[in-house]
Amino acid sequence: MITFRPLTKFDKQATIVLCDEEQVKQKSFSFSNASLKKELNSIINSKQFSGKDGQLFPVVVNNQVVLCVGVGQKKSLSLTALRISVRRALLSPYLREIKSLELIVHEQKDNVIQAVIEAVLIGTYTWKKYHTKDKNDKSVDDKQVVIIASKKKIYEDAIKVCLGANLTRDLINDNADTVTSVHVGKVVRGLIKGKKNISLEVLNEKEMKAKGLGLHLAVNQGSNKPPKLIIVKYNGASTKDNYTALVGKGVTFDTGGINLKPSGHIEAMRMDMSGAASVVGILKNVINLKLKKNILFVCGLAENAIGSKAYKPGDVIRGYAGKTVEIANTDAEGRLVLADAISYVVKNYKPSHLVDIATLTGACIVALGLDYTGLVSNDDAFAAQILKSAETTDDRAWRLPIYPELKDSVKSKIADICNLGSPKGAGGTITAAEFLRQFTEGTKWVHLDIAGTAFVEGTSRMYFAHGATGSSVRLLTHYLQNN
């Protein structure tokens, strides 16, 4: 929980003081607590604390813990480093048993305060649903944080965006047999309940068969769980205004199908619905922010299970757009679900702009690593807007090329198109994007491959703990707010 107030009162269990190197050198602090200033002057004079990025130094003043946190040089302040430092402070042993604290920010700039908010809400998020609580553990996970800053709408909005990102993380982190297509449907219905400017279309298996969404159905046919295509139509502007569509890949578990994933790769495949989960998180944000835009929120939900009914390599399947697809690999399933979702939305809802979000290719991790989402687009202006939002929010993206000759990479000898690019292993991210492009029918389109950015394996990365990051939620919410 975060609240704001303009003046420091030192009335909480603890205080965090963010200090840049210039402040420390000049011994210039914004608060008037004489006892604390004396302690700070003492540790500065003894050269124990200089304000360098990442420094933590605890002092006790009037029986209150005060944690001094260095953020580096003001002129070269990295907001990413700031988020990391604030997260580290909040999770430090010094504050483990603290329930409430003040946080004194070194600089009253909006982007600095927003970064601190994200450090508190996104940085300290952990997935503990299935942890058995130790009775002797006195640590406090959800701290009440008072940020010393005047209350502003921009800060309240930042809190809302973080909560949307954390909803996305909850969906991804939970068990695959819990977060099924049915569960996601219930979450969506809960978000839109009672909202007059929203309508809902849900295609179940029967409707998909009737309408010809053969690619989506093929991916799911080995599963005992139902497939769904969920479309939320949000009317925040005039009905004459254009719609932007957000289409998320929602493979609730991906075994790889008959092209089974090996150990070491299959264990975290509940995260293969991260694109759809991001769409749900953005939906929550748009509703709470009351954006005056027309937006389509689309979740293509399936489970790529293995069994006697699973679709097979070598099959040729016809999708909603009428194109036939050769299945070269059953683990290239996400693009099949997206192809039917994209072509259905383009034909029936006619959006002016479309973004698809997917944990689509391991090749994107090879190309860009774990901190940048891969972006492919058929429109330079649209791509530039998304990239600007990515830079502003630290929800990073990097543009990769797409070009006319790339269509040859997804040709098939036995069908209209192949679900695996050739030559094998070459440019897997952009050939997958080319496959999707052929279903966009000229709509202005951005593809976000979040395979590397959606999930943290291990202890932590940047200011994220193990598990889902909420990749693309902050990015696309910012884009919708500003374009």
Catalytic residues: 261, 335
Distance of alpha carbon 232 from its chain centroid, rounded? 19
Region label for 441, one of left (φ > 0), alpha (ψ between -120 and 50) or beta (otherwise): left
Q: How many CB atoms lie within 10 A of CB 255?
A: 23
Q: Count of H helices and E strands in the chain?
A: 14, 19
Reading the block at residue 356, the tokens are: 């698809």
Q: Identify whether the C-beta of residue 469 lies closer than 8 Å to the C-beta of residue 454.
A: yes
- Give the CA distances from residue 393 to residues 79, 122, 162, 476, in Å, rounded to whole numbers and listed in that order: 10, 13, 11, 9
Those residues with Cβ within 8 angstroms of residue 26's Cβ, 6 or more apart along the chain or in another chain: none
Those residues with Cβ within 8 angstroms of residue 423's Cβ, 6 or more apart along the chain or in another chain: none
Q: How many CA atoms lie within 13 A of 441 on its CB side?
A: 18
Q: How far apart are CA 453 and CA 275, in angstroms?
A: 11
Q: Which of 158, 182, 171 has the alpha carbon at shortest distance from 127? A: 171
